[in-house]
Copies of this chain bind each other. A is one copy, B any other.
Amino acid sequence: MNQRQPLDTPTTAERLRQAAVELFAERGYDGTSMADIAERVGLAKASLYNYYAGKEDLLVDLVERSLAAWDAATLPALDLPGPLERRARLHFRAELDFVAREPYTIAIVNLAASLVSGFARARVHELLSAHREATFVRARRHLAEAIASGELPPGDPDDLLVYAEVFFNGLVLSQMSSPQLAAPVVERLPQLWQMFWRGLSGRPPRESDDP
């Protein structure tokens, strides 16, 4: 380990990214100037250009890191042993925990997804498309396996895939878009999951341990 206390002394680049994430999430991309970021880091504006070639490069890097953090937090649950019902439930719970724990990280991705100008637009859309495609491939495989094992009824895995995508997207959106109204979502997780799984499988969840 030749890193010098990464927890106590984050590098300047890391402090730069943290400041940028906070400011972009709070004020938007266009609403945040390079001068704002420099001030929060405690540098002169010109010094930022030693770390990133420009504002758009900075955003693209933040998006890449955000997607990686999302995957690291949510994917492991899917590869646990056991029935898909439990693995998907833990995955789904990990998504909500991540949204609650790092709302700014999610905000960066949403903000970048609706970016409309500059060369960063194309690059960001490549990242998001690739991420979405990987998510689909993974979900399709898990669903097909659950059908093969008899845990889910025979049928087209893509029907289930679209249903699950809609539900998961809607849930993250509901929790993001109105934190004060999202309390009902978190409080009703067991009931929500039961309805979701009943819609997906045609039967209630087999087991019912951790929520």
List residues of chain A with CB under 8 Å of any chain B CB.
26-28, 30-31, 110-111, 113-117, 129, 132, 156, 158-160, 162-163, 165-171, 173-174, 177-178, 181, 184-185, 188, 191-192, 195-200, 202
Closest chain B CB from A122 CB (angstroms): 15
Query: In whole angstroms, how far apart are the Cα atoms of A29 and B113 in the complex?
Result: 15
Number of copies of this chain that the complex holds: 2
* A165–B165 CA distance with the chains assembled, in angstroms: 15
Which residues of chain B are within 8 angstroms of A156 by Cβ–Cβ distance? 191
Contact A163 B196 (CB under 8 A): yes
A198 touches B192 (CB 8 A): no
Which one of B117, B159, B168, B181 contacts A31 once the chains associate, using CB atoms below 8 Å? B117
A184: chain B residues within 8 A (beta carbon): 158, 162
Tell me the minimal C-beta distance from A130 to chain B in angstroms.
13
List of B residues within 8 angstroms of A28 by Cβ: 30, 114-117
* Chain B residues within 8 Å of A202, by CB: 198
Contact A195 B188, beta carbon cutoff 8 Å: no
Q: Could you list 28 examples of A-B contacts with CB < 8 Å?
A: A26-B116, A27-B117, A28-B114, A28-B116, A31-B117, A110-B114, A113-B177, A129-B178, A132-B178, A156-B191, A158-B184, A158-B188, A159-B195, A162-B185, A163-B192, A163-B195, A163-B196, A166-B171, A166-B174, A167-B167, A169-B173, A169-B177, A170-B170, A170-B171, A173-B173, A195-B199, A195-B200, A199-B199
Q: Are B116 and A192 in contact (CB under 8 A)?
A: no
